[in-house]
Copies of this chain bind each other. A is one copy, B any other.
């Protein structure tokens, strides 16, 4: 009982099924792959693979289809690395090279990823919590409103309006700007938050209410909820591969509208085994632990700035996706982005 051949059969099934979208039977298997044995033998192997949960039959008289477990085995042990074509590499560079600011880089990145993989792409903004403050700006908007702008070293710009009691004198605005700048510049955001409470005391008692309002806004901007942002592209690809989602594509559309869901996934997958080595992390169907995404797989990778992983990006597609190609694309794009923003 050649254990080896059984795995070869599994690989062949996954590859054929991904290519044709149709359950694959023993006959076409020996025809398309040179396995050197007869269909009957393959059938025995397939029976075992089914017993072990790697493949399944949609109905009695049909061929076999890989299960989540089957795809998992394929990804972990069977997939052969598939380098990007020169054309694809070129596409990445031409798309990303003349980006201007961070927004632009990420928008182009997510488009590149969607285009390469022909699937839905997600890119997360660099995390704020690990960033350091480059600059704090406070601008009167007229009337009782101020605009607070926060610039981090990763190039992120956060903005927030502050409602205060009444018109704020230019002088006080200047004072706050200076002292906030002095306290925050060069520090990590978490440190800044810790230093804020003591700040009002250095102002005249009459001004402290205004100062406190500004600080509350600042603290709020740094809160976990606001700090996470994602960009999306390739939603249209879902419709194209609509047939790959037996139910319907709505669960996927819903999930990607709920950015919370995406962020949870990206976060969880950051801790996955493969991800540590700067590699690619894959979750297949049920592994996503999301009851409406059982037909979906996600492929992610972290990207870095200054050697430090600052955020993640990835791709969403049907479980029945071309994993080698997708993984190669995700890895390549993640590296390229790291190079651009990483300095």
Residues of A that sit less than 8 Å from B by CB: 100-103, 134-135, 137, 139, 141-143, 147, 149, 151, 153, 155, 157, 159-161, 217, 220, 233-236, 238-240, 242, 248-250, 253-254, 256-257, 343
Establish whether residues A343 and B149, one from each chain, have CB atoms under 8 Å apart when the complex forms.
no
From the candidates B101, B147, B253, name the one contacting A160 in the complex (CB within 8 A).
B101
Identify the 6 closest CB pairs spanning chains A and B, nearest first.
A239-B250, A236-B253, A135-B139, A236-B254, A101-B161, A157-B159
Given contact pairs A155-B141, A236-B254, A160 touches B249 in the complex (Cβ within 8 A): no
Min Cβ gap A310→B in Å is: 15
This chain: how many copies in the complex?
A: 2
Establish whether residues A249 and B239, one from each chain, have CB atoms under 8 Å apart when the complex forms.
yes
From the candidates B151, B153, B235, name the one contacting A253 in the complex (CB within 8 A).
B235
Q: Which residues of B contact A102 (CB under 8 A)?
A: 159, 161
Establish whether residues A157 and B149, one from each chain, have CB atoms under 8 Å apart when the complex forms.
yes
A300 vs B71: C-alpha distance in the bound complex, in angstroms?
Answer: 46
Q: Which residues of B contact A135 (CB under 8 A)?
A: 137, 139, 147
Shortest Cβ distance from A240 into B: residue: B250
Min Cβ gap A36→B in Å is: 43
Given contact pairs A159-B101, A160-B101, A161-B100, A253 touches B238 in the complex (Cβ within 8 A): yes
A137 vs B138: C-alpha distance in the bound complex, in angstroms?
Answer: 10
Establish whether residues B153 and A101, one from each chain, have CB atoms under 8 Å apart when the complex forms.
no
A248 vs B102: C-alpha distance in the bound complex, in angstroms?
Answer: 35
A239 vs B254: C-alpha distance in the bound complex, in angstroms?
Answer: 9
Min Cβ gap A265→B in Å is: 17
Q: 18 more A-B contacts (CB under 8 A) besides A142-B153, A147-B157?
A: A100-B160, A100-B161, A101-B147, A101-B159, A102-B159, A134-B147, A135-B137, A149-B149, A157-B157, A233-B257, A234-B257, A236-B250, A236-B257, A239-B248, A239-B249, A239-B253, A240-B250, A242-B250
Q: Which residues of B contact A149 (CB under 8 A)?
A: 137, 149, 151, 157
Shortest Cβ distance from A105 into B: residue: B161
Selected A-B contacts with CB under 8 Å, 20 pairs: A100-B217, A100-B220, A101-B161, A134-B139, A134-B147, A135-B139, A141-B153, A141-B155, A147-B151, A149-B149, A149-B151, A149-B157, A155-B161, A233-B257, A235-B253, A236-B254, A236-B257, A238-B253, A240-B250, A242-B248
Q: Which residues of B contact A240 (CB under 8 A)?
A: 250
A151 vs B149: C-alpha distance in the bound complex, in angstroms?
Answer: 10
A257 vs B234: C-alpha distance in the bound complex, in angstroms?
Answer: 8
A254 vs B254: C-alpha distance in the bound complex, in angstroms?
Answer: 17
Min Cβ gap A259→B in Å is: 10
A220 vs B98: C-alpha distance in the bound complex, in angstroms?
Answer: 13
A259 vs B110: C-alpha distance in the bound complex, in angstroms?
Answer: 15
- Which residue, A102, A161, A242, A256, has most C-beta atoms of chain B within 10 A? A161
Q: Which residues of B contact A235 (CB under 8 A)?
A: 235, 253, 256-257
A101 vs B161: C-alpha distance in the bound complex, in angstroms?
Answer: 5
A302 vs B112: C-alpha distance in the bound complex, in angstroms?
Answer: 33
